């Protein structure tokens, strides 16, 4: 076992002193000089804090919050996941002297309750997606918030919700400050500057473990890595899979999209670049040659084979067998992957699968994990250990092996998503596991990436990497799970002669570069931020000097959006254009522009999926019947290259939609382009009040029965089936309008709540807003 050159033995004696503040409970929080210094610096400016994992960024946030509360201000604390939100809320409630000052916002809290809490609580702790959706729906605004705290602030780039919320904060609050907190800001200046720009950062506080005010609080961290040779029994299977891969690479070479067919020179990154090249060629030609589709299929098969090879090399037989089972399910499913079927017909792959089934040996990393855990508990019986694995299959297999060791009480810690038969953990289950790990009911946590970021997992004696990860951010976060309150140790397992080696050295190089640049950034960023000619001040001056006609005019433009589109970036982009977005439950279409225009939006994947599942033409029929000017928007790239669907089939569906249903099709490249299109259409349709946005569109000719059903479907929570039941029971719309609550409740599917809502709509006085 080799020791990495960055052993940290830095802890020196420091007197233990508690924090004293009127809004922080006495004798609970240790006063650390660097935390106090950073919080003082951040108090009067929008600040980015870069601090190693485990050094108490939450305590700094607590100090900043206490300062804001002392000034009578309200605070919004954002964190990326539900467990983190609950964790921060519990900490703040435990530390703050103001009783019942903190409220938690997640998707599980009803919108009406969120509105009430927003107007009554001093500190809101939330996931950013909830706040984004509420801002889009105009449930509240940010005008009463003085400070927003962005936990894991390195996420404040691109289309992540942090960026949208910061933009709305800029529009809705003049006296605003942001606080960004991260342990891993990225490894180059441009990434950090993007975060600074999006959060309007004017101050930066960077600390490393060797800084004078941090060093007294840092514990020893011993990092070792161990090379694991692959067993000879793997060689035959690997050669068979590499032979199958070589044949696909030769196809790509002969077509001209790959320079060399050598297996040793290919990797996933290279294959993804080839995929981009092929898709670009397919999009640029009206009638792509057959060889391009052949290349797309060969590339898809090649990337699956590369993954299979890497699984055996770095994870073992169990992981490869699970992957093969998924390929078989994929190949046999309706509309399944052509590449999967191609692979499973390959004689080399068939032989490899048969040989793997006969193997009685597992990856030697498994036995190494068992040995490491046994050794740790023999040295310290009350140890706590985290084993990080990249794949769920591996975590399950490791769990089974560790369950056989006396004194070891392992538990698996994974994300919330369900993947095939592997059901994810609910938020409550995740919180419960962490609590039981803290209480020593479990002493080994076998975790996937969900445990890397932010969670308040107690400090451990040992962290084991089942495999290296190429990301320096993930590596730093994993290592930060130990040496918090005591000395710690990290062991990284590397399968010799496999991608593990490349990932390890890549991560080390990136981490080293990040630390070097952090030293430079201490002065460079401050200079850029505080220079009067720098981007922030210059941009602010330019904004202040706008002519009157350049300022956005208040608009009454409104678009009704189906509530299922709430996760789409389109709603965010529309809101940024000062368009009122009103989420509703729509039976037909996704966006209503006016009384005559209804739009169905589909991403490329959605469109192809609907086509394969036979839903597409039913949706188009309903869209055509509901709106006099229906429109289909297909968003994204790769329409002719995904799913290996014949382009003739796709063109045939286009022809049917345009000719048979009379629905125009418009394609956009991104959610931003879709939003631009919808905004222009809405402004044209609603110009000077020419057309009101109707919840349901103008209708083509209908029978009386159809018109009656259409009217009843407009009542709250009344579907087409319920509308028919009501009309059949009461006989006319007049009779339905005159019915009592008890009479309505006699209809199957209508309870007291729905009946009350129906009568409320029928009897309420019309008040135009």
Instruction: Measure the CA–CA gap between 24 and 43, rounded to whole angstroms.
Output: 16
| β partners of residue 641 | none
Cβ atoms 166, 29 nearer than 8 A: no
Sign of torsion over alpha carbons 580, 581, 582, 588: positive
Instruction: Measure the CA–CA gap between 611 and 631, rounded to whole angstroms.
Output: 17
Low-confidence ranges of the chain (pLDDT < 50): 5-13, 531-554
Q: Is 575 exposed, middle or buried (0-12, 13-18, 19+ CB in 10 A)?
A: buried
Note the pTM of the prediction, 2 decimals. 0.64
Instruction: Measure the CA–CA gap between 230 and 476, rounded to whole angstroms.
Output: 27
Which residues, at least 6 apart from 172, have a Cβ–Cβ distance to it below 8 Å?
Answer: 141, 142, 143
Cβ atoms 326, 420 nearer than 8 A: yes
Cβ atoms 173, 146 nearer than 8 A: yes
DSSP state of 696: S
Q: pLDDT at position 79, please?
A: 94
Question: Nearest 5°: phi and psi at 209?
Answer: -70, -10
Q: Would you state the structure tokens that stand for residue 632, as one six-digit string?
A: 């289909």
The phi-psi region of residue 650 (left if phi > 0; otherwise alpha if psi is between -120 and 50; otherwise beta) is: alpha
Grouping H, G, I as helix, E, B as strand and the rest as coil, residue 428 is helix
| The residue to which tokens 């009911």 are assigned | 441
| The residue to which tokens 């052509």 are assigned | 338
| β partners of residue 460 | 482
Which residues, at least 6 apart from 195, have a Cβ–Cβ distance to it below 8 Å?
Answer: 48, 153, 154, 156, 157, 180, 182, 185, 186, 201
Q: Would you state the structure tokens that stand for residue 73, as one six-digit string?
A: 């201000």
Output the 3-class SS for 461-502: CEEEECCCCCCHHHHHHHHCCECCCCCEEEEEEEECCCHHHH
Which residues, at least 6 apart from 228, have a Cβ–Cβ distance to it below 8 Å?
Answer: 363, 364, 365, 368, 493, 494, 495, 496
Instruction: Measure the CA–CA gap between 287 and 596, rounded to whole angstroms.
Output: 36
Which residues, at least 6 apart from 500, have a Cβ–Cβ distance to it below 8 Å?
Answer: 313, 314, 467, 468, 493, 494
Q: pLDDT at position 212, please?
A: 78
Sign of torsion over alpha carbons 123, 127, 128, 132: negative
| β partners of residue 62 | none
Residue 16, Cβ neighbours under 10 Å: how many? 7
Instruction: Measure the CA–CA gap between 387 and 460, rounded to whole angstroms.
Output: 11
Output the 3-class SS for 256-303: CCCCCCCHHHCCHHHHHHHHHHHHHHHHHCCCCCHHHHHHHHHHHHHH
Question: Nearest 5°: phi and psi at 207?
Answer: -130, 145
Q: pLDDT at position 719, please?
A: 73
Q: Would you state the structure tokens that stand for residue 129, as one six-digit string?
A: 């997606």
Instruction: Measure the CA–CA gap between 504 and 521, rounded to whole angstroms.
Output: 25
Question: What per-residue string of b and e applies to 160-176 under the rule 16 or more CB within 10 Å gives b?
Answer: bbbbbbbbbbbeebeeb
């Amino acid at each position: 076992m080799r020791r990495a050159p960055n052993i940290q033995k830095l802890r020196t004696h420091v007197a233990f002193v508690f924090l004293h503040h009127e809004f922080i409970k006495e004798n609970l929080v240790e006063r650390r000089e660097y935390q106090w210094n950073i919080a003082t610096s951040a108090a009067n400016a929008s600040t980015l804090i870069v601090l190693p994992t485990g050094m108490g960024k939450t305590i700094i946030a607590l100090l900043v919050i206490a300062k804001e509360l002392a000034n009578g201000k309200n605070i919004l604390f954002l964190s990326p996941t539900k467990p983190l939100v609950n964790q921060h809320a519990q900490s703040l409630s435990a530390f703050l002297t103001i009783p019942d000052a903190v409220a938690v916002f997640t998707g599980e809290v009803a919108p009406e309750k969120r509105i009430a809490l927003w107007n009554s609580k001093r500190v809101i702790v939330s996931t950013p997606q909830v706040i984004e959706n509420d801002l889009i729906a105009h449930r509240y605004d940010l005008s009463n918030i003085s400070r927003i705290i962005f936990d894991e602030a390195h996420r404040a780039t691109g289309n992540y919700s942090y960026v949208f919320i910061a933009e709305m904060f800029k529009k809705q609050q003049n006296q605003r400050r942001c606080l960004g907190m991260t342990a891993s800001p990225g490894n180059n200046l441009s990434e950090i500057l993007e975060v600074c720009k999006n959060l309007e950062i004017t101050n930066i506080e960077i600390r490393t473990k060797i800084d004078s005010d941090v060093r007294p609080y840092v514990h020893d961290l011993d990092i070792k890595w161990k090379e694991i040779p692959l067993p000879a029994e793997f060689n035959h299977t690997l050669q068979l899979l590499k032979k199958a891969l070589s044949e696909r690479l030769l196809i790509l070479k002969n077509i001209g999209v790959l320079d060399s067919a050598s297996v040793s020179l290919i990797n996933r990154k290279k294959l993804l670049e080839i995929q981009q090249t092929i898709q670009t060629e397919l999009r640029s030609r009206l009638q792509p040659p057959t060889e391009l589709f052949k290349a797309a299929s060969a590339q898809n098969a090649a990337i699956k084979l590369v993954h299979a090879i890497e699984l055996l090399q770095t994870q073992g037989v169990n992981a490869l067998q699970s992957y093969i089972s998924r390929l078989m399910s994929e190949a046999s499913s309706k509309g399944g992957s052509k590449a999967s079927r191609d692979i499973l017909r390959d004689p080399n792959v068939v032989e490899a699968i048969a040989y793997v089934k006969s193997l009685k040996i597992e990856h030697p990393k498994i036995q190494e994990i068992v040995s490491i855990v046994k050794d740790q508990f023999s040295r310290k019986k009350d140890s706590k250990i985290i084993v990080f694995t990249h794949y769920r299959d591996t975590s399950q297999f490791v769990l089974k092996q560790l369950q056989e060791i006396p004194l070891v009480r392992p538990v698996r810690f994974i994300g919330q998503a369900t993947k095939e038969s592997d059901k994810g953990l609910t938020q409550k289950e995740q919180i419960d596991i962490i609590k039981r790990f803290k209480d020593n009911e479990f002493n080994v946590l076998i975790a996937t990436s969900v445990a890397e970021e932010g969670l308040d997992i107690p400090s451990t004696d040992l962290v084991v990497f089942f495999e290296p990860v190429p990301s320096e951010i993930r590596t730093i976060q994993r290592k930060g799970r130990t040496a918090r309150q005591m000395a710690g140790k990290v062991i990284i397992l590397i399968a010799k002669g496999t991608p593990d080696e490349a990932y390890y050295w890549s991560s080390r190089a990136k981490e080293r570069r990040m630390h070097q640049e952090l030293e430079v950034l201490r002065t460079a960023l401050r200079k850029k931020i505080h220079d009067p000619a720098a981007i922030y001040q210059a941009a602010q001056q330019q904004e202040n000097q706008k002519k009157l006609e350049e300022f956005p005019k208040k608009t009454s433009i409104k678009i009704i959006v189906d509530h299922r589109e709430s996760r789409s970036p389109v709603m965010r982009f529309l809101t940024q254009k000062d368009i009122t977005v009103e989420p509703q439950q729509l039976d037909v279409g996704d966006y209503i522009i006016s009384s005559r225009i209804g739009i169905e939006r589909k991403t490329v994947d959605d469109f192809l999926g609907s086509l394969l599942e036979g839903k597409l033409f039913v949706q188009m029929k309903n869209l055509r019947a509901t709106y006099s000017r229906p429109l289909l928007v297909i968003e994204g790239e790769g329409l002719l290259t995904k799913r290996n669907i014949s382009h003739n089939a796709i063109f045939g569906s286009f022809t049917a939609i345009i000719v048979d249903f009379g629905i125009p099709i418009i394609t956009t490249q991104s959610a931003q382009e879709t939003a631009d299109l919808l905004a222009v259409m809405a402004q044209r349709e609603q110009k000077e009040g020419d057309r009101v946005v109707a919840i349901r569109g103008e209708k083509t000719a209908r029978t009386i029965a159809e018109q009656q059903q259409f009217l009843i479907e407009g009542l709250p929570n009344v579907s087409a089936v319920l509308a028919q039941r009501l009309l059949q029971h009461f006989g006319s719309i007049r009779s339905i309008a005159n019915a009592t609550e008890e009479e309505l409740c006699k209809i199957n599917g209508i309870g007291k709540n729905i009946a009350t809502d129906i009568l409320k709509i029928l009897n309420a006085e019309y008040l135009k807003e």
